[in-house]
Structure 1
């Protein structure tokens, strides 16, 4: 498995690579200059399960704000730099635990070296990011279009620039909104480097399409043992990114913890508002730190059997509800009491 062979990189008080657990990242969408709003969002994301947070640093005011933000949060902070090398240096001087740059956007050799020298002095990792949307013209021509091979060559060229400056505390990210191209690029680069990989499908889209593209892309990549930290990119509340990332890792067996909800599709036998009930259950169980499976079934005919593999389940139909544990009916009660009965069971689960 590739993950066992990547180098270990320390980001703040966390580590990635070397077979360590895959960490979940997200990015704030507040103005970084607004310390209060940014800290508030980071705390909310931390509570949702975010383990590394990235903030954009487009101005010197934003770089200076990192110092105050750092004091009020508990997870590592990554500074996202797009063009100005001075912002990268200022971000590191103000406490960034890692910086994200594309050396191609930073400018001259001297400017890149100034950034690398500051990172080296402070032993701050650099994430080298390459996006298919900004692939160099010569590589597009060489490969007759934007290709996985071109993305990989671009990324490794950027990595070599920094390695030749005597620094290898690096994380690589190669992103594309084309799911299959992104998967192929990760398969190729995993064979060519031992730097940890930050994996994500860029510009994945809205909550609906973005979740599907991210789940498919990340599923294909992570299942091969490739990837050390992930971000699900969604056009929406960053908390949704974290929620999706947790579920993707849990579904692949790469993360334990958290209640998993399974529910049957609606059919002609369904006599209750199954969709509404399943959504209520999913919202309710988010607050319980239990590693269990909860089933929500739409009829009392097949409910107990279908819920057998779950730790606990509920089934409803025509005013009557069943509470099911490990496939056995333990309680019959009015349908409108199902949710409260399930809540009581969860609250007393470990007793």
Structure 2
């Protein structure tokens, strides 16, 4: 399958979160957030490293106090992935984490107090080239907007965002991105679509508080998928009441499904039926568990019978089409060999790993020559 996407991305400015470009045609980055106690430096550092290993491009950490800010500084020393500090109300926390090496401040200018305090944070961010994320959430709109609109609405969220944008504009600070998150899919998508036409800064996508692993994944896929299909979105976080590593996996699966990014194995697998000539579900479960460490992009088709098997297998880098008494294996669209049920998963794993290694070496060779 050729890795091309027909999606036309919205034109946006580019900012840098550490060494990760956001907006301006850069690949859509995948984010997650730690759910450990930030002051537990060991646990939070371990979770950041797990998120990085899972494929996160950026990790956000809540910093609710000056004590947590000092812990953030210790975490910063132990990891090299870009870190965002999530801060509310206390401008002193923002100033401190800026000195400790934060890569982005998630802070709404309007909720940290007087103009003098806002200016101090913006001046510090400007001096150290630290971007800011304006993060509007339907559950925490300003009281006057709640009164004006009666309830959270897309217009209320956009108005809130533009208030914060106006503050940064007035202070001549353009190094920022914006999010307008809601747990309601229709509210969030409407707000993002409206805001996308009004500003050219990068947009951070999210369906906030989406739910547990299964329900939250479905809601996020619908909401974020709709926006991404419109070309809206420069970075995203899938918000799940689950292990944050799952957020990263779902984020990548979303982007891979839309051919917006490629990382690791893209499995094409049938749901299986009585025509299957091997246990497709068991085979897939084992392969996914064994091959999570592979980062080289590969399309792998695992189809249980000869009805759709050969066609799907020919379109993949590696394809398996179930047959009797043995199963046909295709490599780069061509019949290659036969596998039997005995040792099927072991044989497939070895073949996939060999193919991934060869492809990675070829890509590295091309880079060196260029």
Alpha-carbon distance in structure 2 between the residues aligned to 1:92 and 1:302: 55
Q: Are 1:155 and 2:137 an aligned pair?
A: no
8 Å CA contact 2:182, 2:208 repeated in 1 = yes
Alpha-carbon distance in structure 1 between the residues aligned to 2:307 and 2:22: 48
Alpha-carbon distance in structure 2 between the residues aligned to 1:346 and 1:88: 46
- CA RMSD in angstroms, aligned pairs only: 2.2
Alpha-carbon distance in structure 1 between the residues aligned to 2:307 and 2:262: 32
Report SS of the residue matched to 1:283: helix
Q: Are 1:284 and 2:290 an aligned pair?
A: yes
2:271 aligned residue: 265
Seen in structure 2, the aligned counterparts of structure 1 residues 2 and 82 have a Cα distance that, compared at 3 Å, is farther
1:298 aligned residue: 304
8 Å CA contact 1:51, 1:75 repeated in 2 = yes
8 Å CA contact 1:312, 1:325 repeated in 2 = yes
Q: Are 1:117 and 2:123 an aligned pair?
A: yes
Alpha-carbon distance in structure 1 between the residues aligned to 2:308 and 2:248: 34
Q: Are 1:40 and 2:40 an aligned pair?
A: no
The one of 28, 32, 38 equivalent to 1:22 is 28
Report SS of the residue matched to 1:335: coil
Cα distance, 1:271 vs. partner? Answer: 5.2
Greater mean alpha carbon deviation, residues 281-290 or residues 13-22: 281-290
The one of 218, 225, 230 equivalent to 2:231 is 225
Unaligned runs of 5+ in 1: none
8 Å CA contact 1:305, 1:327 repeated in 2 = no
Cα distance, 1:114 vs. partner? Answer: 2.7
Displaced runs of 4+ in structure 1, greater than 6 A? Answer: none
Cα distance, 1:3 vs. partner? Answer: 5.0
Greater mean alpha carbon deviation, residues 284-293 or residues 212-221: 284-293
Seen in structure 2, the aligned counterparts of structure 1 residues 167 and 327 have a Cα distance that, compared at 3 Å, is closer
2:112 aligned residue: 106
Report SS of the residue matched to 2:320: strand
Cα distance, 1:316 vs. partner? Answer: 4.3
Q: Give 1:20-169 correspondences, 5 Å limit.
A: 20-169=26-175
How many residues align? The count is 351
Alpha-carbon distance in structure 1 between the residues aligned to 2:123 and 2:336: 65
Seen in structure 2, the aligned counterparts of structure 1 residues 315 and 23 have a Cα distance that, compared at 3 Å, is same
8 Å CA contact 1:66, 1:95 repeated in 2 = no
Cα distance, 1:144 vs. partner? Answer: 4.4
8 Å CA contact 1:132, 1:151 repeated in 2 = yes
- 1:263-321 superposed Cα distances (whole Å, 9 cap, x missing partner): 11222323543222111122233222332211112235543344332222234478744
8 Å CA contact 1:300, 1:322 repeated in 2 = no
2:320 aligned residue: 314
Greater mean alpha carbon deviation, residues 178-187 or residues 111-120: 111-120
TM-score (norm 2): 0.88
1:247 aligned residue: 253
Unaligned runs of 5+ in 2: 1-6, 360-370
2:179 aligned residue: 173
Alpha-carbon distance in structure 1 between the residues aligned to 2:181 and 2:329: 45
8 Å CA contact 1:300, 1:321 repeated in 2 = no
2:343 aligned residue: 337
Alpha-carbon distance in structure 2 between the residues aligned to 1:166 and 1:110: 15
2:219 aligned residue: 213
Alpha-carbon distance in structure 2 between the residues aligned to 1:98 and 1:298: 47
Alpha-carbon distance in structure 2 between the residues aligned to 1:66 and 1:287: 28
The one of 320, 326, 330 equivalent to 1:324 is 330
Report SS of the residue matched to 1:296: strand
